[in-house]
Amino acid sequence: MTARRVLLIEDEPNIIEAIRFILSRDGWRVDTHSDGETALAAIRTRAPDLVILDVMLPNRSGYDILHDLRRDAATKALPVLMLTARGQKKDRDLAEKLGVSRFMTKPFSNSEILSTVRELVG
């Protein structure tokens, strides 16, 4: 069986390393990308089983990226876990309106991220 693939779109190095460590240890293959402008191309090229998407990215927001993913037939059903430091209700509501699979606020626990990723990919 090939390793399941996660594409982590995040620009904060500490969070990238933490998530990469947690998921790699569990057998996931973790690719990373940190620029909002080229995130859609990275998703199409790498064809991950799951995208972990930060809201605040350089050049383009996670909300814009999620909106485009859900409008494209090829990525409409792709599981997306959105991460944000801004966990207000309006942020969560917007993400849900745009079709997010799951919404998680920073800081998160290692076990929370791992269980959510496993649940979303099954």
Structure confidence at residue 1 (pLDDT): 58
**How do residues 17-74 score in pLDDT, each as one tens digit?**
999 999 999 999 999 999 999 999 999 999 999 999 999 999 999 999 999 999 999 9
Q: Which residues contact 78 (CB under 8 A, 6 or more apart)?
A: 43, 48, 50, 51, 69
* Res 122: pLDDT: 82
Give pTM, 2 decimals: 0.96
Sign of CA dihedral 90, 57, 49, 14: negative
Q: Measure the CA–CA gap between 73 and 57, rounded to whole angstroms.
A: 24
Q: Enumerate domains of the chain plus CATH numbers.
A: 5-121 (3.40.50.2300)
Across residues 89-112, what is the average pLDDT? 95
Please give the mean pLDDT across all residues of the chain. Answer: 96
For residues 84-104, average pLDDT: 94
The CA distance from 105 to 121, in Å, is: 20
What share of the chain has pLDDT > 70, as a percent? Answer: 99
